[in-house]
Amino acid sequence: MFAYGLLIIYNGMKGRHPAVLLGRVKEISYLMITFSPIVYGLVPLSWDAVIAIILFFPVLYGITEIMDRVLPAPKEEPVN
Protein backbone atom coordinates (compact mmCIF):
# COMPACT_ATOMS: atom_id res chain seq x y z
CA MET A 1 0.00 0.00 0.00
CA PHE A 2 2.83 2.37 0.82
CA ALA A 3 4.44 1.90 -2.59
CA TYR A 4 1.04 2.33 -4.25
CA GLY A 5 0.54 5.62 -2.42
CA LEU A 6 4.00 6.84 -3.38
CA LEU A 7 3.33 5.97 -7.02
CA ILE A 8 0.12 8.02 -7.02
CA ILE A 9 1.81 11.00 -5.34
CA TYR A 10 4.77 10.87 -7.72
CA ASN A 11 2.59 10.67 -10.84
CA GLY A 12 0.35 13.42 -9.49
CA MET A 13 3.29 15.75 -8.91
CA LYS A 14 4.54 15.10 -12.44
CA GLY A 15 1.05 15.78 -13.83
CA ARG A 16 0.81 12.39 -15.48
CA HIS A 17 -2.45 10.75 -16.48
CA PRO A 18 -1.94 7.46 -14.52
CA ALA A 19 -2.37 9.39 -11.27
CA VAL A 20 -6.00 10.03 -12.23
CA LEU A 21 -6.57 6.36 -12.98
CA LEU A 22 -4.65 4.97 -10.01
CA GLY A 23 -5.98 7.46 -7.49
CA ARG A 24 -9.58 6.21 -7.58
CA VAL A 25 -10.30 6.13 -3.84
CA LYS A 26 -13.72 4.49 -4.05
CA GLU A 27 -12.58 1.52 -6.10
CA ILE A 28 -9.29 0.93 -4.30
CA SER A 29 -10.94 1.19 -0.88
CA TYR A 30 -13.54 -1.39 -1.93
CA LEU A 31 -10.84 -3.79 -3.09
CA MET A 32 -8.78 -3.34 0.08
CA ILE A 33 -11.81 -3.84 2.33
CA THR A 34 -13.05 -6.92 0.48
CA PHE A 35 -9.68 -8.63 0.01
CA SER A 36 -8.31 -7.97 3.52
CA PRO A 37 -10.23 -10.88 5.12
CA ILE A 38 -8.96 -13.15 2.33
CA VAL A 39 -5.35 -12.04 2.81
CA TYR A 40 -5.53 -12.56 6.60
CA GLY A 41 -7.11 -15.99 6.23
CA LEU A 42 -10.51 -15.15 7.72
CA VAL A 43 -12.31 -16.02 4.48
CA PRO A 44 -10.93 -18.70 2.17
CA LEU A 45 -10.18 -17.64 -1.39
CA SER A 46 -12.83 -19.30 -3.49
CA TRP A 47 -14.82 -18.62 -6.62
CA ASP A 48 -17.84 -17.85 -4.44
CA ALA A 49 -15.95 -15.07 -2.65
CA VAL A 50 -14.59 -13.60 -5.90
CA ILE A 51 -17.99 -13.70 -7.60
CA ALA A 52 -19.63 -12.08 -4.55
CA ILE A 53 -17.03 -9.29 -4.60
CA ILE A 54 -17.58 -8.69 -8.32
CA LEU A 55 -21.38 -8.80 -8.10
CA PHE A 56 -21.61 -6.50 -5.07
CA PHE A 57 -19.31 -3.82 -6.50
CA PRO A 58 -21.89 -2.21 -8.85
CA VAL A 59 -24.43 -2.11 -6.00
CA LEU A 60 -22.04 -0.32 -3.64
CA TYR A 61 -20.78 1.95 -6.42
CA GLY A 62 -24.35 2.91 -7.35
CA ILE A 63 -25.30 3.66 -3.75
CA THR A 64 -22.26 5.87 -3.22
CA GLU A 65 -22.85 7.70 -6.53
CA ILE A 66 -26.45 8.43 -5.54
CA MET A 67 -25.29 9.68 -2.14
CA ASP A 68 -22.70 11.93 -3.81
CA ARG A 69 -25.37 13.49 -6.03
CA VAL A 70 -28.14 13.80 -3.42
CA LEU A 71 -26.22 14.99 -0.37
CA PRO A 72 -25.12 18.62 -0.37
CA ALA A 73 -21.46 19.54 -0.44
CA PRO A 74 -20.05 20.54 2.94
CA LYS A 75 -19.79 24.26 3.51
CA GLU A 76 -16.35 25.72 3.90
CA GLU A 77 -15.54 27.71 6.98
CA PRO A 78 -13.91 31.11 6.48
CA VAL A 79 -10.21 31.24 7.28
CA ASN A 80 -9.19 34.10 9.58
User: Among 9-13, 34-38, 66-70, where is mean pLDDT lowest?
Assistant: 9-13
* b/e sequence 54-77, b meaning 16+ C-beta within 10 Å: eeeeeeeeeeeeeeeeeeeeeeee
Assess if residue 51 is contained within a domain. yes
Assess if residue 19 is contained within a domain. no
pLDDT for position 4: 72
Assess if residue 33 is contained within a domain. yes
Tens digit of each residue's pLDDT (9 = 90 or more) over 17-27? 665 665 577 78
Q: How far is CA 12 from the centre of its chain?
A: 17
Assess if residue 17 is contained within a domain. no
| pTM exceeds 0.75, yes or no | no
Assess if residue 6 is contained within a domain. no
Assess if residue 49 is contained within a domain. yes
Expressed as residue numbers, the domain containing 47 is 24-70
Whether the CB-CB separation of 27 and 65 falls below 8 Å is answered with no
Q: What is the domain count for the chain?
A: 1
Assess if residue 1 is contained within a domain. no
Assess if residue 28 is contained within a domain. yes
pLDDT for position 9: 74
